[in-house]
Amino acid sequence: MSTLNRKAWGDLTRHRPRTLLAVCTLSIAIASLGFLAVPALLNAAMNRQIAGSHLYDVGIFTSTLDLSPAQLGALGRLPGVAAVSPAVGYATTAASAAGPQDVELAGTALASAPVNTVALFTGQMPGPGEVLADAGNARATGFAIPSGGTIDVRAAGGRLVRLRVSGTGMNLAATPGANGSTTPVFYAQTATVQALRGVRGYNYLGFRLTHDAAAAQSRVVAEVRAYLTAQTGADPITALPAVRAPGQWPGQSGFNQIMALLYIITILAFASALFLISATMNTLVAEQASEIAILKTLGGRRRQIAGITVRTAAMLGAAAAVLGSILGIAIAYLLAGYFAVKLIDVSFGFAISVPVVVASLVLGPALAVAASVPALRRALGQPVAETLARAVTSGYGSGWLDRLVARSGLLAGAGVPGSVRMGVRNALRQKRRSAATIAQVAVAAGLAIAFLALGQSITAVISQTIGKLHFSIGVGVASTRGARPFGSQALAVAATTPGITGAEPVETSSVQYNGQTYVAWGLGAHPLYSYRLSAGHWFTTAHTAADAGTAIPPVVLGPALARAARASVGQILTLSVAAGPTRVRVIGIDTVPTNNGDTVYFPLPVLERLDGGPGTANSIWLTTASTAHTAIDRAATAAANRLAAAGYPVSTTEIYITEAQITAADTAILTIVDILGLVVVAIMLMGLVSTLSMGVIERTREVGILRCVGARARQIRRVFSAEAVVLAVAGWAFGVLLGWLIYQGLLTLLLHDASISLPQEFPPVIPLVTLAGVVVLTVIVIRGPLRRATRIEPGTALRYQ
Amino acid sequence: MTGIAAAPAIVELAGVEKTYRSGRVAFRALSGVDLSIAAGEMVAITGPSGSGKTTIINLIAGIDRPTAGTVTVHGSRLDQMTEEQLAVWRGHTIGIVFQFFQLMPTLTAVENATLPLDLARFGPVRERKAVASRHLATVGLGDRGDRLPLELSGGEQQRVAIARAMACGPPILLGDEPTGNLDTALARDMFELLKGLNGNGTTVVYVTHDQALAGLASRIVSVRDGLIVGDTGR
Ligand SMILES: Nc1ncnc2c1ncn2[C@@H]1O[C@H](COP(=O)(O)OP(=O)(O)O)[C@@H](O)[C@H]1O
Ligand SMILES: [Mg+2]
């Protein structure tokens, strides 16, 4: 059998460039499996991180409670509670060169907290008068202060207090990026934050449970509520408790959205690579047709002959599997690390997903062998004499399509150069290979089209949501002690600030429905928000009158919530608010995807009452005279200062900054997706180069004849570039269809998996831009094969066998 | 015959040597060939297999280059021209017919016959097909123009190859065993075609194994082991 092995090896080494091309292609296909390891790697790393930081199972926000060690001990011994850790949060502003900057300070037991332990990354844990900067501040908020630097934080009394930054660290429960916040976070000793707030006590309790399940979580919340109410005489729970589902981590939902896209890309990349593999193996086997015929005349049995090819394929596959696995491990490591830093601001070490690596190593040879089987069957089925006779001429003209194209007069016009005509028809010669190339181009172009359209949808949704907000500045109550809700006096102060043209009181909080948390907005009858209802109507002035006494209050639902609740106008829903369950009547359904469509709109007085009492709006929306950013900044600062002076410490949000942040976040996701899409494009280009190179190699003799009958280098190039362009444009045409389908799939997927509803955006410019891209890339990558074709010398070519 | 010999030489091989190199092995295919062919001659080259006949034809066609010596054809020094210049020059000057026909498999008969006209941008675009069709009719294939090579018999394919060689009306027509793959009757027909072209002034040089076919030429050059060992025209 050794000669058979030798022949298998010889078949690989005979056409080294082509073997290399096949191995590279196959290895890229295998490497794309590395994507599949990313979720596992990231989950494992995050679970280590969660275990290390003792992340909360239940987090309860309270009014300021000065809990004694004995009371904390009692909380820790409540049934189902494994550990409790109190913290004090303080939202204020810091003075910075760019004006006042909102910041959040968290006073905790830091490294020794049994729940929500703060991990130290660089520098030292903060001592008195010091803070530790969250590692996510720089990326998520753009507010980075180096270790050894200082920040000047406004204390409750209004005075600025200078704090030294002792280092960087992180607590997964608070870190801004992963939690979807854009406010920088600093950790400090409890006493430091209490001193700034000007009051003793805590406003947050983090719990870990002995048995973390949904039922246990609500039981613990009830137990804690009962205990604290008994101790303090009132229910101190001010907001919906934060519960973390088992195995969940902050930032996971954003990550899951990207993963959905990643899986789609993996599947398409792999499909595209499969086409290429089968085309490559097909060519390798087809080339052997005459040798197979000779082996048969020498008495070779089908099994023996097939054995040679299978061995060749397995060797090729094994080489590709090793190369591809190494590449895949690198891709998975880099991607997982990149996502960890980009989405959660956590970095972690090198790891390997063993199942994915094993699958990659096994799949390489298996795929290569499987891909060569159809061609092998065909070659073995050919009669010997026919195969040997055919070695001289190509099979063109044996199919109806060939004859149709030749006779139809298509491209037969006198104006079409013969070289172009030949190129176009050459594309029909190796139909399988051409089809594979077209499929690869289609997948790549389709992905490009789908993602470009998705980008358009996201841009459109940003303008559709932010564009519906007709104010420039949002003012919120600072979470300092003594901060009062906004009554008519605060409104008047804000409205009379220079540069401000109007002020509207708004209540913002959250509600739960069916275990999910939704945003609640309390608005007036004519808000600075332009709703676009698909059913029902908006609140009337009667609904929003301060003394509106409806037993069941009216609400308008955002589109995602309406879909989730299958709600219709007139329906009664039971929502949970901080105070407990309450019934509401749906009077309208909105189509604007504000907060991803997860918004419940209440009449302002209703939400105020549910959140604590009338005239207690916690936000003010301000309109400005000018839309210039500097004017808006100036007006925001002026309003904040005047409100603070009037006894209303506030934080402000400029809408243009929010818009920029959302756009940046979406762009980041699309960039990641685009980078991954490049892998598919790389496979496509490889396919084009491979198809054309093999065409050139096979047609060496024909090129020689063309040279004999007077063809210039330019004319030879035109034959092959016509073929490539025909394949590329045909691929693009299928790609438009495929792209539209992928795009629809993405929209559906985002709607189902992430409840993100995006508008349909498929302008013709997207396919046209893609066409231009496909043609330009094609023209660039075929330069190599073209050069090879023109270098063929007629004398050698005509003797080429 | 002597009258023709007095005409100026259209092909002039002087001291031509050709050594093929494949890897470490060097093979001397021609070792000092001098050959002068006058315009309007019809020359047959004969000799055993491997003696260097194809090499001589390829040198005249500018398909191969000599290792030493000079090749002058139709006033051009082929050994001094670039590959690109040679291609253009061939388009106007040379028609070649090969043993295995070597038609473009994706082009129909008439397209194959038009190809050199397109490549050389010979005459007005609209008339090229008519010219090619006329050539096809000359070789007796007027009704088969829209067939692909695979749909034609060997004899028909070779006639298309001759029509293609005639396309631009070249002054020189070369044939490398042009009838090697045809039966005797078809081979005779083919030679009638070549003789007709020669009668119209085309210089014809062809390789053949067949003594009878060689006898149809006005001059027979015999090659053996890379040397000219006999020449009836001298
Ligand atoms: N590309 C090549 N490399 C090496 N040897 C060659 C090459 N082409 C031809 N030869 C050798 O040169 C000799 C002459 O070849 P050729 O001119 O084709 O002979 P003929 O046409 O008379 O049969 C032969 O022995 C042949 O093997
Ligand atoms: Mg020969």
Q: Is A538 a residue whose pLDDT tops 60?
A: yes
CB A576 within 8 A of CB A240: yes
Q: Which atom of ligand 1 is nearest to the CA of B25?
A: 4
ipTM of the complex: 0.79
Check CB contact of B65 with chain A, cutoff 8 Å.
yes
Roughly how many angstroms between the first and final C-alpha of chain A, as a whole number?
Answer: 27
**Domains of chain A by residue range:** 1-52+254-393, 56-243, 399-467+658-801, 478-649
Q: pLDDT at position A468, please? A: 85
Q: Which of A265-279, A338-352, A582-596 has the highest mean pLDDT?
A: A582-596
Q: Do B119 and A709 touch (CB under 8 A)?
A: yes
- Supply the residue whose CA is at minimum distance from atom 25 of ligand 1: B50
How many Å is the Cα radius of gyration of chain B? 17
Work out the minimum CA distance from B189 to partner chain A, whole angstroms. 24
Q: Is the dihedral of CA A438, A441, A445, A448 positive or negative?
A: positive
Q: Interhelix angle for A418-426 vs A400-407, to 10°? A: 160
Q: pLDDT at position B29, please? A: 92
C-alpha dihedral (A640, A641, A642, A643), degrees to nearest 10: 50
CATH code of the domain occupying B9-232: 3.40.50.300
What whole-number percentage of chain A has pLDDT above 70?
Answer: 88
Locus of tokens 């903060």:
A126
Q: Which of A512-516, A610-614, A775-779 has the highest mean pLDDT?
A: A775-779
Could you tell which of B17, B46, B51 is best to mutate to test the pocket of ligand 1, judged by most ligand atoms within 8 Å of the CB?
A: B51
CB A680 within 8 A of CB A269: yes
Q: What is the pLDDT of residues A675-719, one digit of tens each?
A: 777 777 777 777 778 777 777 877 788 888 888 888 888 888 888
> Does residue A671 sit in helix, strand or coil?
helix
* Of the partner residues B106, B118, B164, the one whose CB lies closest to the CB of residue A425: B106
HEC sequence for chain B: CHHHHCCCEEEEEEEEEEEEEECCEEEEEEEEEEEEEECCCEEEEECCCCCCHHHHHHHHHCCCCCCEEEEEECCEEHHHCCHHHHHHHHHHHEEEECCCCCCCCCCCHHHHHHHHHHHHCCCCHHHHHHHHHHHHHHCCCCCCCCCCHHHCCHHHHHHHHHHHHHCCCCCEEEEECCCCCCCHHHHHHHHHHHHHHHHCCCEEEEECCCHHHHCCCCEEEEEECCEEEEECCC
Lowest mean pLDDT segment, chosen from A42-46, A393-397, B25-29:
A393-397
HEC sequence for A105-162: EEEECHHHCCCCCCEEEEECCCCCCEEEEECCHHHHHCCCCCCCCEEEEECCCCCEEE
H/E segment holding residue A599: strand A599-603
Of A163 and A351, the one with more pLDDT = A163
CA distance A13 to A20: 9
Q: What is the DSSP string of A296-342?
A: HHTT--HHHHHHHHHHHHHHHHHHHHHHHHHHHHHHHHHHHHHHIII
CB A589 within 8 A of CB A533: yes
Q: Which residues line ligand 1 (CB under 6 A)?
A: A 799; B 20, 22, 27, 29, 47, 49-55
Q: What is the DSSP string of A416-434?
A: S-HHHHHHHHHTTTSHHHH
Check CB contact of B133 with chain A, cutoff 8 Å.
no
CA distance B95 to A157: 102
Q: pLDDT at position A801, please? A: 45
The pLDDT-based confidence of A393 (bands split at 50, 70, 90) is: very low
Q: What is the pLDDT of residues A79-132, one digit of tens each?
A: 989 999 999 998 888 887 666 788 899 999 988 899 999 988 889 999 999 999
- A604's CB contacts (< 8 A; 6+ apart) are A505, A506, A507, A522, A523, A524, A544, A617
Of A785, A687, A699, A780, give the one whose Cα is nearest residue A436.
A687
Q: Is A307 a residue whose pLDDT tops 70?
A: yes
Q: pLDDT at position B204, please? A: 95
Q: Do A710 and B91 touch (CB under 8 A)?
A: yes
Of A115, A455, A49, give the one whose Cα is nearest residue A252.
A49
The pLDDT mean for chain A works out to: 82
> Cα–Cα distances in Å, from A136 out to A93, A364, A667, B192?
18, 40, 18, 90
Q: What is the pLDDT of residues B147-166, one digit of tens each?
A: 888 888 888 998 899 999 98
Q: Is A399 a residue whose pLDDT tops 70?
A: no
Instruction: Using a cut of 0.80, tell me whether the model's pTM lies above it.
Output: no
Work out the minimum CA distance from A710 to partner chain B, whole angstroms. 4
CB A517 within 8 A of CB A510: yes
Work out the minimum CA distance from B75 to partner chain A, whole angstroms. 18
Q: Is A345 a residue whose pLDDT tops 50?
A: yes
What whole-number percentage of chain A has pLDDT above 90?
Answer: 19
Could you tell which of B19, B53, B55, B205 is best to mutate to test the pocket of ligand 1, judged by most ligand atoms within 8 Å of the CB?
A: B55
Q: Is the dihedral of CA A766, A772, A774, A777 positive or negative?
A: negative
B64 CB neighbours in chain A (<8 A) are 795
The ligand minimizing its distance to the Cα of B99 is: 2
Q: Is A177 a residue whose pLDDT tops 50?
A: yes
- Dihedrals phi, psi of B153, to nearest 5 degrees: -75, 170
Q: pLDDT at position B124, please? A: 85
Of B48, B10, B51, give the one whose Cα is nearest residue B33.
B51
- B16's CB contacts (< 8 A; 6+ apart) are B30, B32, B33, B34, B35, B59, B66, B68, B69, B70, B71
Q: pLDDT at position A1, please? A: 46
**Chains A and B: how many Cβ contacts under 8 Å?**
114
* Of the partner residues A397, A419, A711, the one whose CB lies closest to the CB of residue B149: A397
Q: Which atom of ligand 1 is nearest to the CA of B56?
A: 17
H/E segment holding residue A775: helix A765-781
CB neighbours (10 Å) of residue A69? 7
CA distance B84 to A713: 7
CA distance A498 to A571: 45
> Does residue A580 sit in helix, strand or coil?
strand
Q: Strand A554-557 vs strand B76-77: parallel, antiparallel, or unpaired?
A: unpaired
- Supply the residue whose CA is at minimum distance from atom 7 of ligand 1: B20
The pLDDT-based confidence of A4 (bands split at 50, 70, 90) is: low
